[in-house]
Structure 1
């Protein structure tokens, strides 16, 4: 069993336009290890990232020399370009499906300023799928339907909305609640169940003790959750549909809440993805 995550390839979503702009130089290239490495070299040359133990000036040499330098410093030198490509492909900014790098309309829109980054992220996060043939919880929760198009982002919007609606308290969810309940969702049918777990555990801390032990014992990447959560919340907040006091304050805060200035848009997204969704 595994928690979902947007990944940690790019820590600050505000930097996406700069990274895409450089990636555009490789448009229509075969997306192989050489292109992936050349992309990362160019990111260093342009000052978007800092190389380990060397600076951009040292890469202002022939391309073959720059590649050899990277292979000397990194065990898998192309991996940094590869994981960035995977992130942008996941969010629909590029298309790698045919083995070539192609910027999508969304990706080009970010570069030329015709598409707001927040709008691009909303659409990209909505389309990002985390799919199992059946829910990881199917042996614990009876009658779960198969979620063919499960979006962790949409499920998180729905979970926070349900907690706020049922508790009649629009304060969102805590860091711990996000970690154990939002990030273990993989089926829309679980959202209301988990929302009530959260509400009841606030009344009685022992209510969810067994649930938390189960997650700790069975979700193999839960130990990396802190690293994942830091990135997930930054991307979710950049969409403008979720707000958080976490950035700059740490986990001891109202970690994630809906941006009620955009509640109509949030409700439309939830209802379009989950016809018959309960009120939020």
Structure 2
């Protein structure tokens, strides 16, 4: 019997839920038996959403192409794959089916689809269809799901002693830990990732919330009383003891203990990552702690007052899944005038604090000034509109604060290191890598010069850390300078799928950005950054650079990540010599690279080959 609750680690990147759901929709109306389960898993491979291990270099390379595998290619690829599983007598079709069931698990749990053998045909729910059509915000989907996901429930067996809504219980624990820690004379910090893995994933009954709070406080006090090495030994021992107790192991089963300790860490990491998607939790302490989001203070207070973390009772699986797929349930306890007024006032306070902090720290350097006067509103709709506006104001102010902080260049070495790591990996080792590329590129652009605005289009939480990559209909990053404007598009794709996913969309994004720009007299650039520039991508951009897109030449600047890192290194060295690069210098660099297309004549490769020399000449001219 399970001793913990966990969110499936199959989908480490929550954004991939939509991609998996889209593949599942191909099987709608078919019984989700072992045959369909296996076919679903194979389809994930065909569509390149899942990469098996042990395949040949040829097929590793084929995963870089945009096209799906053909039937013959898929059959040949699968002949190279072997999943060892003694319980299935190594029957590969049964192994595929098991992986298909695992891959679909979160989709069913979230009420996006019904895909269980015991419930007949595959069905994409109304909520799932809305998500596939971009008619509902993914943040709202996660928020509603975690408000309702409970153990036990009629679709998951084997949770006899459980009685918990994990997300609600987690918020109760964090809230109470903060109060207890404050009462002891300390600043509340939420809970650490270690505490989450040890005490929250093992909380299986809402009635034990108070007990777990006490355990966290005692654990924290003990750890803080020890030196660094002793503290780490203490943490390691507590994880081993917890694994033995929770999973009913013997001290002699060292391999199993090691595996279960790793599981505890994985369960905690996955839960935090998913729960952050609701925007009710956020990181603090450089990501070491997770806490309740300050801009959602009123909403969280009402949730904790109205929900104690106990599981509801359902007649059958159909009733439960119907409840899970209803985006209007449960009713939100703050959807009334008094509470919405409190939400509005809390956000207004947060916005004023941020603006004051920026003005105090940076005086006349503030990038935006908002009129943050309290207004009297008379209906729920008006409050919701003002709340939405204030959330955007807070997002802008957080972004301004980040820009002003990054101008010191104190973090430039970190960004050089992180971007280099992303550039040199042959394949992404984390579902978060594309998001990390957008994040570190954004921060490095903030650090480069005296930009007025560097605005990433990824979704962020209260910690100003990204949740989801930028939507496909927007540039990854939008940049405004006094003398020019720019979008920045980044990708980790290396093969022909780079051209397929980035070629035409980037040219369209740049044109739409140009049309939105209020100052039509300024130059507009697109900085495209990738591990390498695929020949098809280059030649697609070349047409736009030489002949134009929809009647007008576009200034697209393709750089490898390493070339961009080289620019960062040059900026750092210049700064050490007392030369601070400004936006005009960056504009000159972009213009110099673009103008080399003239010397290249009709040869796109000659243009690309000139980039390193241009960067070197640009740097030398500034240091002269």
User: Is the TM-score greater than 0.5?
Assistant: yes
Would you say 1:24 and 2:63 are equivalent positions? no
Deviation at 1:176, TM superposition (A): 1.6
Unaligned 5+ runs, structure 1: 136-146
Q: 1:257 aligns with which of 291, 311, 328?
A: 291
Would you say 1:80 and 2:99 are equivalent positions? yes
Would you say 1:229 and 2:268 are equivalent positions? yes
Q: 1:155 aligns with which of 169, 174, 179?
A: 169
In the alignment, the residues of structure 2 paired with residue 71 and residue 269 of structure 1 have an alpha-carbon distance, to the nearest angstrom, of 51
Q: 2:161 aligns with which of 111, 130, 134?
A: 134
Would you say 1:115 and 2:142 are equivalent positions? no
What does 1:34-113 align with in structure 2 at a 5 Å threshold? 34-52=35-53, 53=55, 54=59, 55=62, 59-61=69-71, 66=74, 69-70=77-78, 73-75=81-83, 76-96=95-115, 98-113=119-134
Query: CA-atom RMSD, angstroms?
Result: 2.9
Q: Which has the higher strand share?
A: 2
1:202-250 superposed Cα distances (whole Å, 9 cap, x missing partner): 33448x999766523212244421222232221111121111259xx7x
CA contact (8 A) 1:175 1:255 kept: yes
Deviation at 1:42, TM superposition (A): 2.6
**Secondary structure of the structure 2 residue equivalent to 1:38:** helix
In the alignment, the residues of structure 2 paired with residue 20 and residue 134 of structure 1 have an alpha-carbon distance, to the nearest angstrom, of 31
Deviation at 1:123, TM superposition (A): 1.8
Deviation at 1:84, TM superposition (A): 1.6
CA contact (8 A) 1:41 1:59 kept: no
CA contact (8 A) 1:243 1:258 kept: yes
Deviation at 1:30, TM superposition (A): 0.9
1:75-116 superposed Cα distances (whole Å, 9 cap, x missing partner): 312333221212211122112352221112222221111221
TM-score, with structure 1 as normaliser:
0.79
Q: Which moved more, 1:197-206 or 1:225-234?
A: 197-206
Per the alignment, do residues 68 and 218 of structure 1 end up closer, same or farther by CA in structure 2, a change over 3 Å counting? farther
What does 1:187-206 align with in structure 2 at a 5 Å threshold? 187-205=205-223
1:42-64 superposed Cα distances (whole Å, 9 cap, x missing partner): 323333232331345793125xx
Match of 1:139 in 2: none
In the alignment, the residues of structure 2 paired with residue 129 and residue 273 of structure 1 have an alpha-carbon distance, to the nearest angstrom, of 12
In the alignment, the residues of structure 2 paired with residue 275 and residue 121 of structure 1 have an alpha-carbon distance, to the nearest angstrom, of 17
1:181-215 superposed Cα distances (whole Å, 9 cap, x missing partner): 11110111111221122223333448x99976652
**Secondary structure of the structure 2 residue equivalent to 1:244:** strand
In the alignment, the residues of structure 2 paired with residue 134 and residue 2 of structure 1 have an alpha-carbon distance, to the nearest angstrom, of 9
Match of 2:303 in 1: 269
Equivalent residue pairs, number: 255
In the alignment, the residues of structure 2 paired with residue 216 and residue 20 of structure 1 have an alpha-carbon distance, to the nearest angstrom, of 34
Per the alignment, do residues 37 and 133 of structure 1 end up closer, same or farther by CA in structure 2, a change over 3 Å counting? closer
Q: Which moved more, 1:156-165 or 1:38-47?
A: 38-47
User: Larger Cα Rg: Structure 1 or Structure 2?
Assistant: 2
- Higher relative contact order, chain-length normalized (CA < 8 Å, sep 6+): 1
**Secondary structure of the structure 1 residue equivalent to 2:191:** coil
Deviation at 1:155, TM superposition (A): 1.0
Match of 1:144 in 2: none
CA contact (8 A) 2:239 2:261 kept: no
CA contact (8 A) 1:233 1:244 kept: no
Per the alignment, do residues 126 and 264 of structure 1 end up closer, same or farther by CA in structure 2, a change over 3 Å counting? same
In the alignment, the residues of structure 2 paired with residue 224 and residue 8 of structure 1 have an alpha-carbon distance, to the nearest angstrom, of 10
Per the alignment, do residues 130 and 109 of structure 1 end up closer, same or farther by CA in structure 2, a change over 3 Å counting? same
CA contact (8 A) 2:140 2:278 kept: yes
Would you say 1:170 and 2:188 are equivalent positions? yes
Unaligned 5+ runs, structure 2: 84-94, 153-158, 226-233, 248-259, 311-624
Per the alignment, do residues 224 and 238 of structure 1 end up closer, same or farther by CA in structure 2, a change over 3 Å counting? same
In the alignment, the residues of structure 2 paired with residue 67 and residue 124 of structure 1 have an alpha-carbon distance, to the nearest angstrom, of 37
Match of 1:143 in 2: none
